Structure 1
Amino acid sequence: MTHFAVFLRGVNVGGINLTMAELRAAVQTLSVSDVKTQLASGNLTCSTDLSASELKNSVEALLRSTFGYDAWVVVLKAGRLRELVDSCPLPADDPDTHSYITLFSDPDALDDLVQAAAGLDSGLIVLGPEAAAWPAPRGGTLESPLSKISGKPRFKNSTTTRNLRTLHKVLAAISS
């Protein structure tokens, strides 16, 4: 069995409200075990013999049929998530800055984000084909250039962004 982290896009914002108990119960109906949710923003971990692609497709189909919304998720093996988080040079805790990692299910979307951010003083750091890190001033995340770019329709079905502190909590849940 492989441990995975599954990140839902757009949960508990914009009218798509799910409790983590509902999410956990729904996902437990799939061919997975050890399902845990973290925080209220659509982070879950599980173990399965499915591939990352099969798990992504299964979770998206389940969320669409169970909760009735156009669900998109990014799925990473736990080991790969650990590598990405460990390679992030931004601080997890800083009094003036939030550090974010945008996760991608489509490497072309990462390329598009890099091109869209070219020439901006965004601080974008590509961590791998499925992740990029970027800082935002505390209290100014939604106004930051990368937040505005990554919120565009082009990225809706293939990206989700998490605070670096949140990703540390997800990794801790996998380890426990």
Structure 2
Amino acid sequence: MGSYAVFLRGINVGGINIKMAALRDALQAAGFQDAGTLLASGNVVLTSTLGAAAVKRTCEKCLRDAFGYDAWVVVLEAGRVAELVAACPYPADDKATHTYITLSSDQGVLDELDAAGAALEGHQQKRLGPEALAWLAPAGGTLDSPFSKISAKARFKAATTTRNLRTLVKVRDAASRLQPS
């Protein structure tokens, strides 16, 4: 049995509103009895005997069936979340900048986003692996930052989800407390 973090894309923004209790209930009904949610931005920790790819498929089907939208999630093993947090060279708390990590289960899309960001003058980013890209945005200006505008394009938006580093630290901590049996 493995511990996993599941990151839902695009909920509680843009018209797809899901209460975390309803999300937890739907996932538990789909067989993830210990599914727990963190914050209101679609972060789930759970254990499963399934591998990551099967957890992804099962979660996406559950979300489509329960909430009626074209669900897309990134699933990472709990240990991988811890590795990404440790590998991030940027601070979790800084008054001038915010640290984000964009996650994707489509390495090709993340490769394109990585290249687009690298072409921006003065933009700071670091590839953390095939599924993750860390980047900095000015405090108070995340949505207006050039990289944020690029990553919001349909080409990238449909295959990525972004969390701030503080959220990933909370997910790491919650996932590490899950005790696979």
Counterpart amino acid of 1:158?
A
Quick one: distance in 2 between partners of 1:33 and 1:25? 9
- Does 2:140 match 1:139? yes
Secondary structure of 2:6 counterpart: strand
Secondary structure of 2:21 counterpart: helix
What is the Cα deviation at residue 30 of structure 1?
Answer: 2.2
- Does 2:129 match 1:151? no
Q: Who is 2:168 aligned against? A: 167
CA contact (8 A) 1:33 1:48 kept: no
CA contact (8 A) 2:11 2:42 kept: yes
Quick one: distance in 2 between partners of 1:37 and 1:83? 21
Counterpart amino acid of 2:126?
I
Q: Who is 1:66 aligned against? A: 66
Q: Who is 1:39 aligned against? A: 39
Secondary structure of 1:71 counterpart: coil
CA contact (8 A) 1:123 1:134 kept: yes
Secondary structure of 2:35 counterpart: strand
What is the Cα deviation at residue 33 of structure 1?
Answer: 3.5
Secondary structure of 2:34 counterpart: strand
Quick one: distance in 2 between partners of 1:68 and 1:117? 33
Secondary structure of 2:144 counterpart: coil
Q: Who is 1:49 aligned against? A: 49
> RMSD across aligned C-alpha pairs, in angstroms?
1.0
What is the Cα deviation at residue 46 of structure 1?
Answer: 0.2
Quick one: distance in 2 between partners of 1:152 and 1:92? 26
What is the Cα deviation at residue 25 of structure 1?
Answer: 0.4
Quick one: distance in 2 between partners of 1:73 and 1:100? 17
Q: Which runs of 5+ in 2 are unaligned?
A: none
**TM-score between both structures, scaled by the size of structure 1:** 0.96
CA contact (8 A) 1:12 1:40 kept: yes
Quick one: distance in 1 between partners of 2:105 and 2:136? 21
**TM-score between both structures, scaled by the size of structure 2:** 0.94
Secondary structure of 1:28 counterpart: helix
Give the count of matched residue pairs. 176
Q: Who is 1:78 aligned against? A: 78
CA contact (8 A) 2:78 2:176 kept: no
CA contact (8 A) 2:37 2:43 kept: yes
